[in-house]
Amino acid sequence: GLLRKLENSAYREPVPLEQLPDDLRERVTGGRLFIVTKANAESTVHRARRMDYVGVKQLSPSGQVVGERRFIGLFTTKALSAPVEEIPILRHKLRQVLELHQAIPGSHDHKAIVAAFNGMPREELFWSDASQIHADIRTILRLEREQAVRLTLRTDPLKRGLAVMVIMPKGHFSDAVRQKVQEHLRRRLDARRVDSRLAIGEDEGHARFHFFFATDVQATPELASELEREVQSLARSWHEELRALLVERYGEAEGAALAARYLGAFDDRFRADVTPARALVDVGHLERLRATSHVIDLIGPEPGEGAADAPATLIVYHRDHGLALSDVLPLLENLGFRVLEQNPYNLTVEGEHRGMDVYSVFDTQGATVDVATHGPRLVAALERLLRGEAENDRLNRLVLHAGLTVRQVALVRLYQMYYAQIDPATSRSFVTDALLAHPELAALLVLYFETRFDPAFDGATTPTEARLQALAELEQRFVDGLANVKSLAEDQVLRGLLDLMRATVRASYFQEHERISIKIDSGAVDKMPEPRPLYEIAVASRGVEGTHLRGGKVARGGIRWSDRPDDFRTEVLGLLKTQTTKNAVIVPVGSKGGFVVKRAPAGGDLREHVRAQYQTYIRGLLDLTDNLVDGRVVRPEGLVIYDDDDPYLVVAADKGTATFSDLANQTAAEYGFWLGDAFASGGSAGYDHKKMGITARGAWEAVKRHFAEEGVDVHRDTFTVVAIGDMSGDVFGNGMLYTDRIRLQAAFNHMHVFLDPDPDPVSSYAERRRLFELPRSTWDDYDRSLISEGGGVFERSAKSIPLSPQVRAMLGVEDEALSGQALIQAVLRMPVDLLWNGGIGTYVKAGEERHGEVGDSANDGVRVNGAELRARVVGEGGNLGFTQLGRIEYALRGGRINTDAIDNSAGVDSSDHEVNIKILLQPLTASGGLAQEQRNALLADMTDEVARLVLRHNHDQARALSLALRYSRKDPALYASLLDYLVESAGLNPRVEFLPTARQLEERRRNGEGFTRPELAIMLAYVKMGLYRRLLETELPGEPHLQHYLHDYFPHQLRERYPEAIEQHRLKREITATVITNTLVDHLGIAFVHRGMRDNGASAIEVVRAALIALEVLETRAFFERVEALGATVDAEAQYEAIAHLVSAVESVVSWMLFNNVGLGDFEHAVGKYRAPLQALRAELRTYLTEGQRERFDARVAGLVEQGFGADLAADIAGLDHMASAFGIIEVAGSTGEGVADA
């Protein structure tokens, strides 16, 4: 054992008893035969404590002590914690104590003695005799009836120290008292070491300290009395001391009130751990909880030796329920703390819960937190985090490591988020890593931003020379700092963040809203993906993140609730591309917005949460937007602005925001925004797209043209349909109710697959209407009795769906069962007349595309390739149903398809009319000339007229594409030249828009193919956008003679009642330019202006000016109306041929005018000079022709009449070949004074 090494013993050689010191000789030869106590030596294993000593005397036959067997070691934890009843020696001593006290079993004294006995240190119980223990317990019991401090003193049996028991009322007890008592006794007894133990019984009114002091001092009654008096003076009541401190700090009245409120709230453990002086501070913080949910205190280590390596103390005070460590720990770790331990204290203050959670913390590197430097920022940050007023992520470490405030971190987080949105290949996590790896550069970025946008820098709201100079110096410091960045990837991210800040032209940061929004000059950002908007706004708050992209200063488009938090900008950019081409038909260029919600309620009302976040997002946009007050631009407060005036901002509904227009207008009203309820179209005082069915009706204009070109009348002939969506949707529901000739064989949405192999058009139409009129419906609500044999409604998620023979025949498959996803693919591939997209999702791509490139992972399992479709016609009522390459692939295989931008433009067109009508009427309502109720009634009265104007655009654009397809096949070189021109001069990126290269066009030419309708749709949009911009650069939109184009935009009710208001419209130039653009491109073709420039060496505006004169002189509007009135009585191809003759006539007249410099002056004069003479000449044209010309003319007329044209219209068409000559005749007649017949 431990004593086996005799060489270590002081008595390795026998020593006669008489040579031993008296006390040691007495101990060896006398005393107890069995002893349990503590040795002086510490254990070197397991626990660093004095070893337990068990001694058993050896006796001779005569009873003399002849030796001792000693056992040295440590009692196990189990032995020390075992109940007294399980230890025979102690059980015997307890029985002796009870007998000495004559305690009656079951009495109060009996129970109290047992409890006190169990609470005493085991080692004392072992070596104390029953009488000594009884004396201590009597002292303990007596103090139950006395509020006094007592001390007992007992010498160790081995004379190696003193056992001291200090007993005091709980109210006097605290850890500070314990420490003071221990330290005082250690000094008084000159102790070499101290062992201590605290005992506080639940039912006892006192606390006991059990000390063992290793000392040579011996116990005497006098010493015990002295020490007791000294300890009594030290053991001032914790409550009394705290009460005195409260009165000293707060005054007698308030201090007494606080004492009454809190003294009873602090339990024994709290008083044991916390000094009254610290409790005084705690009371102050706890009082603050009356006004807030959390209070934080951060305390550095006590000064002195070891403070540099000691943890700081973080205290979280809170009310109501306790804080779960799993909730708080991530907050602390993300702030840069490493938590060593937590000690919670639960208090009840006047019946209300209060809590204190005490944490010992280092920083993440294990170093002591510099509380003096970082404390206030860390406390402020944690308070906001616990109240939910700041976001919790690793970027918060910049508070500690970069010296930023939590508000500044929110700014960094906005740029981190948006950089990752612009460059989806770089994750937010990596951006965070780069910033945390270089906190000094993160701090420089914030300083750069604040220098750029802080209005207090020099008081100016636009950049000054001093500000720009300071920015240049900071930028150089940042670039110099990048030299210390070893990682190329991190370098690129940090440079990208600076680049993004440099491109920021407005920021709401200093408006002190919780939300932060920034406006970016997209063209100035190096890594900005194509196509680049003109401007974009990023918005971020705790609950929402979003973007708004604008193609120009006058732009409009919908705002969608996105479900793609990692790449919502990519989603919105894709929609912007569609919106940009879609908006080519209306006044504003394209814009698009999207937002994602964060911190969505788990069990609450998600819709209300989304509405609230949508409103935050809208406010973020308006925070940066100029206003108009009395015709004057007023800029927002708190901004330093690096761009021009920018007051035009309108929004519209999109996915997830269909009912939010009134909310958007209500929000705009908070800002007094000049557009009023024109800010968001489609509200309660606007045009309801679903009730109008306008988007679906517009798409049907395109579908009707596709079918008409195949000789199908959708209101007369039945046709089969496969559709995406369900009857609760606007575009799907209205689309499937457009005509009762539809035979809907299959449809699907995100839940169900609907199959009806042989539907009855009439009964199925009625059932679809019933579903449409329900408040909400799915395919599961469809009356099964109306579904034809073999059909049904199935779960899209089903693992296996059995297929009836009828369904297999319809789908053209042999499988007897398919999964829900495979069934949808079969539905998309089935032979059908029309594939109608009225839903959400991208279901068709090109074979060369990967699913990951599509950006709609939810539908990867059902998506098919364009080449696999067997539908004859596609109608794209919904957005993004096809990728552009998917459309092209389908079209190259003979499918009839435009683009979603062409097919569903009626919705945005309707909204544009609403906005511009409201802008027109706003001055009238503001002046009192038109009451709001009257205005609303007028808007409602114009619904049908607005729909007519909008659908005319859909009709004309679909026809323009059919003509472009026809012309491009006849003259592919012209359209290839047009494409090159658009690339060079109109900002068209053929790679982004998936337009064919010269090599691809040559391959197509060899295969008898050319441009497809989807490609021509893109070119049509860019032609319109380019022409619109050119017009606005000139005075043409203000030309008095062209103002009829402005008036033509508006419903006849406004033209008749408010012509002056139309003339004063704030966007009259833009509206006029839009209508002129649509007229020229839709009527004369997308290559008309380009051909005129190429063939005549003229500018675009010169060609346009001449064409506008020619259109009026030739009365082309009446011509188109006469051709369209023919309807299905004349073959579509014959009608296109007639229009081609008109276009050729206009081209020849334009060439004549440009060659002869005619029409360069006043419009009115030019039109007046030629119109009347031309009318007269055309009426008698046949009489002016030569015999050969007359024969050809008559043959042409006869052929047209045979095709179904009326005789008069046929004659006008035939006469178009002579229009250029007619202008020459009129010119000669005018210059010579001769009549037209003579000329």
- Taking residues 1025-1044, report their average pLDDT: 94
Tokens of 754: 């609907």
What is the spatial distance between Cα 453 and Cα 463, in angstroms, rounded to a whole number? 9
| Least confident window among 248-262, 312-326, 859-873 | 312-326
The answer to whether 208 and 167 have CB atoms below 8 angstroms apart is yes
Residue type, 1049: Y
pLDDT at residue 236 is higher than 60:
yes
Predicted pLDDT at 899 = 95
- Number of helices and strands (H, E) in the chain? 51, 30
479: part of which helix (H) or strand (E)?
A: helix 465-481
pLDDT at residue 291 is higher than 70:
yes
pLDDT bin (cut points 50, 70, 90) of residue 1227 is confident
Tokens of 378: 């860390």
Mean pLDDT (the chain) is 90
Predicted pLDDT at 768 = 97
Q: How far is CA 72 from CA 4, 12, 67, 68, in A?
A: 11, 18, 16, 13
| Residue 691 appears among annotated catalytic residues | no
| Least confident window among 204-208, 286-290, 525-529, 790-794 | 204-208
Q: How far is CA 579 from CA 582, 701, 884, 907, 958, in A?
A: 5, 19, 14, 11, 17
What is the spatial distance between Cα 164 and Cα 215, in angstroms, rounded to a whole number? 12
Q: How far is CA 589 from CA 338, 482, 666, 728, 771, in A?
A: 53, 40, 25, 30, 36
Predicted pLDDT at 27 = 66
Categorise residue 22: left if φ over 0, alpha if ψ from -120 to 50, beta otherwise: alpha
211: helix, strand or coil: strand
pLDDT bin (cut points 50, 70, 90) of residue 418 is very high
Predicted pLDDT at 828 = 98
- Taking residues 1065-1085, report their average pLDDT: 96
Phi and psi angles of residue 990, each rounded to the nearest 5 degrees, phi first: -65, -25
What is the spatial distance between Cα 851 and Cα 853, in angstroms, rounded to a whole number? 5
Predicted pLDDT at 322 = 66
Predicted pLDDT at 403 = 94
pLDDT at residue 382 is higher than 80:
yes
pLDDT at residue 326 is higher than 90:
no
pLDDT at residue 311 is higher than 70:
yes
What is the spatial distance between Cα 910 and Cα 899, in angstroms, rounded to a whole number? 19
Q: 672-697 burial, b for 16+ CB within 10 Å, e for fewer?
A: ebbbbbbbbbbbebbbbbbebbbbbb
Tokens of 462: 């636009």
pLDDT at residue 202 is higher than 60:
no
Residues in the chain: 1239
Query: What is the CB neighbour count within 10 angstroms for residue 516?
Result: 23
Predicted pLDDT at 169 = 83
What is the spatial distance between Cα 432 and Cα 493, in angstroms, rounded to a whole number? 10
Query: What is the CB neighbour count within 10 angstroms for residue 1008?
Result: 7
Tokens of 699: 């798409």
Query: What is the CB neighbour count within 10 angstroms for residue 591?
Result: 31
pLDDT at residue 11 is higher than 60:
no
Predicted pLDDT at 3 = 66
Closest CA to 390 of 356, 413, 357: 413
For 890-937, what is each residue's pLDDT tens digit? 999 999 999 999 999 999 899 999 999 999 999 999 899 999 999 999
Predicted pLDDT at 145 = 64
Tokens of 421: 């949105």
Predicted pLDDT at 203 = 58
pLDDT at residue 642 is higher than 90:
yes
Relative to beta strand 871-876, strand 832-837 is parallel
What is the spatial distance between Cα 456 and Cα 1193, in angstroms, rounded to a whole number? 80
Percent of the chain with pLDDT over 70: 96
Looking at 655-746, list the stretches that DSSP marks H as alpha helix, in order from N- to C-terminal side. Answer: 661-670, 689-692, 694-708, 730-735
Tokens 């006094």 identify what position? 148
What is the spatial distance between Cα 640 and Cα 510, in angstroms, rounded to a whole number? 10
Predicted pLDDT at 604 = 67
The answer to whether 408 and 391 have CB atoms below 8 angstroms apart is no
Between 23 and 1190, whose confidence is greater?
1190
Predicted pLDDT at 288 = 92
pLDDT at residue 351 is higher than 90:
no
The answer to whether 583 and 590 have CB atoms below 8 angstroms apart is yes
Predicted pLDDT at 306 = 67
- Taking residues 991-999, report their average pLDDT: 93
pLDDT bin (cut points 50, 70, 90) of residue 1237 is low
What is the spatial distance between Cα 980 and Cα 986, in angstroms, rounded to a whole number? 10
Tokens of 1114: 């030739």
pLDDT at residue 782 is higher than 90:
yes
Q: How far is CA 997 from CA 547, 686, 890, 974, in A?
A: 33, 44, 18, 15
Phi and psi angles of residue 507, each rounded to the nearest 5 degrees, phi first: -150, 140
pLDDT at residue 143 is higher than 70:
no
The answer to whether 181 and 207 have CB atoms below 8 angstroms apart is no
| Least confident window among 63-72, 778-787, 1090-1099, 1146-1155 | 63-72
Predicted pLDDT at 770 = 97
Alpha carbons within 13 angstroms on the beta-carbon side of residue 499 total 17
- Taking residues 632-660, report their average pLDDT: 93
The answer to whether 875 and 835 have CB atoms below 8 angstroms apart is yes
Of 592, 704, 1024, 1169, the active-site residue reads 592
Question: Which contacts qualify for 69-78: CB closer than 8 Å, 24 or more apart?
Answer: 70/3, 71/1, 72/1, 72/2, 72/3, 72/39, 72/41, 73/2, 73/43, 74/43, 74/46, 74/47, 74/49, 75/122
- Taking residues 1076-1099, report their average pLDDT: 96
For 798-822, what is each residue's pLDDT tens digit? 999 999 999 999 999 999 999 999 9
Predicted pLDDT at 12 = 60
DSSP conformation class of 775:
S
The answer to whether 501 and 449 have CB atoms below 8 angstroms apart is yes
